């Protein structure tokens, strides 16, 4: 028997099996997710993982039709904007997915995960640094299903001419803070082994290139401190999206008060040293 949709993404055929299980096989596992004689949403998990899910996470992993609707919606997506649209259509199901992720990480990590930092896998010297210095930030993002979707969206823009603005305009500040602080840790704290362009907490920065170059040269410490803090980097992103609108920036500050101290330190450094920054 098994307890739900831990293995993602599901194939369309597996969705059909899952819907059958919900409607036709309820008596097979009355207290768990219907398994249809072992063919169910977690069929690909190892035996030890399924046993742990049954013991500790069954309330989170017993699927509902809405869970399957969210999965089906996102399976059809070809870009990050579509992922966010699905989240907005099924907000309760996104919250349930976060509860599932959290239960796996907190209760069943030894049996269900082969990597120490949530659902992220690393390799080589970059992985050694990231696991040592950035693991907690990766775990925090892994527990938040929407953060994982934002990460996927940002990875799509990670090319020669990245433009993360569409992703950052679409997701809430909480997930922006979780995702960017995690990515900034890898590209700033572990820059020597992982790369990351300018580093200095500037991953997915919306500032003009000349401003970013100046920050890297004159305000790297202040920018790194902000970039590694979820509240500050969310505030900095929010303010950047305001395009100079003072009322908008004030709203960002009011909604993210914990990020204000480091944000103000960075803003002071920019105003003193970087005229290229708006």
Residue-wise pLDDT for 60-85, tens only, equals 877 677 877 888 898 888 888 889 99
Collapsing DSSP to helix, strand or coil, 192 comes out as helix
Residue 18 in any domain: the answer is yes
- Tens of pLDDT, residues 106-147: 999 998 888 889 999 888 898 899 999 999 999 999 999 999
Domain hosting 33: range is 1-114
Residue 182 in any domain: the answer is no
Distance from CA of residue 54 to its chain's centroid? 26
**Would you put residue 94 in left (φ > 0), alpha (ψ -120 to 50) or beta?**
alpha
Q: Quote the number of domains for the chain.
A: 1
67-71, 96-100, 110-114, 248-252: segment of lowest average pLDDT: 67-71
What is the chain's length?
278
Collapsing DSSP to helix, strand or coil, 207 comes out as coil
Residue 265 in any domain: the answer is no
Query: How far apart, in whole angstroms, are the C-alpha atoms of residue 16 and residue 42?
Result: 14
HSE-up of 138 (CA within 13 Å, CB side)?
A: 19
The distance in angstroms from the start CA to the end CA of the chain is 58
Residue 149 in any domain: the answer is no
Residue 185 in any domain: the answer is no
């Amino acid at each position: 028997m098994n307890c739900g949709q831990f293995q993602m993404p599901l194939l369309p055929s597996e969705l059909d099996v899952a819907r059958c299980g919900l409607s036709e096989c309820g008596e097979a596992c009355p207290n768990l997710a219907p398994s249809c004689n072992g063919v169910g949403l977690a069929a690909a998990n190892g035996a030890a993982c399924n046993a742990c899910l049954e013991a500790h996470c069954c309330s989170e992993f017993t699927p509902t039709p809405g869970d399957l609707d969210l999965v089906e919606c996102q399976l059809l997506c070809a870009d990050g904007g579509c992922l966010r649209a699905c989240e907005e259509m099924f907000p309760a199901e996104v919250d349930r997915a976060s509860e599932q992720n959290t239960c796996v990480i907190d209760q069943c990590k030894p049996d269900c995960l082969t990597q120490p930092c949530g659902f992220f896998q690393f390799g080589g010297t970059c992985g050694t640094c990231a696991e040592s210095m950035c693991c907690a930030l990766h775990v925090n993002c892994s527990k938040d299903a929407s953060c994982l979707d934002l990460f996927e969206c940002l990875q799509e823009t990670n090319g020669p001419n990245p433009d993360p603005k569409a992703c950052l305009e679409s997701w809430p500040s909480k997930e922006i803070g979780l995702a960017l602080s995690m990515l900034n840790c890898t590209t700033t704290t572990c820059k020597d082994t992982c790369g990351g362009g300018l580093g200095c907490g500037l991953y997915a920065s919306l500032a003009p290139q000349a401003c970013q170059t100046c920050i890297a040269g004159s305000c790297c410490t202040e920018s790194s401190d902000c970039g590694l803090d979820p509240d500050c980097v969310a505030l900095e992103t929010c303010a950047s999206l305001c395009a100079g609108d003072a009322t908008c920036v004030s709203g960002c500050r009011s909604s993210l008060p914990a990020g204000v101290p480091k944000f103000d330190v960075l803003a002071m450094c920019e105003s003193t040293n970087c005229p290229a920054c708006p």
